[in-house]
């Protein structure tokens, strides 16, 4: 009976270790998904800020054109406004692409952490089963022969 105690502790320890690794993987995954959400919010805020800045600059361009005696909606002034709008749209698309790239990377990391935790749990269970199968449980026949 006493010989069974170390075997039982080994089995229980491996199961507990697997459960702990599983819980850690889930927690890490959850933290990475929260970081992903924050990244997406930050990206959306940066997009809004970029658009607001672009509108302000375009308004300044129009005001400057009229102040200098040019007709604001024609010729070179119009071409400058079009180019400013194109540049602003490209800035927003760049922000969006960078944000989505970081968010996709974080999501992949979160999935990997979750998967790692599941495999650690499975490994703990299999290791516990292996320890149980190979353990000397102190059977009565062996105990009586000593």
pLDDT in tens, 99-122: 999 999 999 999 999 999 999 999
Q: To 10 degrees, what angle do helices 75-134 and 4-67 make?
A: 180
Looking at residue 33, its pLDDT comes to 97
Looking at residue 105, its pLDDT comes to 97
CA–CA distances in Å: residue 41 to residues 5, 91, 96, 129: 54, 17, 11, 46
Q: How far apart (Å, rounded) are the C-alpha atoms in residues 16 and 97? A: 43
- Name, in order, each residue with C-beta under 8 angstroms of 43's C-beta and a sequence gap of 6 or more: 95, 96, 98, 99, 100, 102, 103
Name the average pLDDT for the chain. 86
Looking at residue 80, its pLDDT comes to 82
Q: Which of 23, 8, 9, 11 is nearest to 128 (CA)?
A: 11
Looking at residue 74, its pLDDT comes to 67
Q: How far apart (Å, rounded) are the C-alpha atoms in residues 86 and 30? A: 39
Q: Please list the ranges in the chain whose pLDDT falls under 50.
A: 142-146
Is residue 106 a contact partner of residue 4, using CB atoms and an 8 Å limit?
no
The CA angle 90-96-100, to the nearest 5 degrees, is 145
Looking at residue 39, its pLDDT comes to 97
CA–CA distances in Å: residue 90 to residues 26, 42, 54, 68, 85: 38, 18, 11, 28, 9
């Amino acid at each position: 009976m006493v010989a069974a105690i170390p075997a039982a502790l080994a089995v229980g320890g491996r199961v507990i270790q697997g459960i702990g690794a599983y819980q850690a993987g889930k927690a890490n995954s959850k933290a990475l998904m929260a970081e992903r959400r924050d990244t997406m919010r930050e990206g959306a805020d940066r997009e809004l800020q970029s658009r607001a800045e672009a509108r302000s600059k375009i308004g300044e361009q129009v005001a400057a054109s009229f102040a200098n005696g040019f007709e604001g909606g024609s010729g070179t002034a119009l071409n400058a406004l079009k180019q400013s709008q194109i540049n602003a749209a490209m800035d927003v698309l760049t922000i969006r692409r960078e944000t989505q790239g970081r968010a996709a990377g974080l999501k992949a990391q979160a999935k990997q952490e979750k998967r790692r935790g599941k495999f650690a749990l499975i490994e703990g269970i299999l290791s516990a089963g292996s320890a149980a199968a190979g353990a000397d449980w102190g059977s009565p026949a062996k105990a009586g022969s000593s």
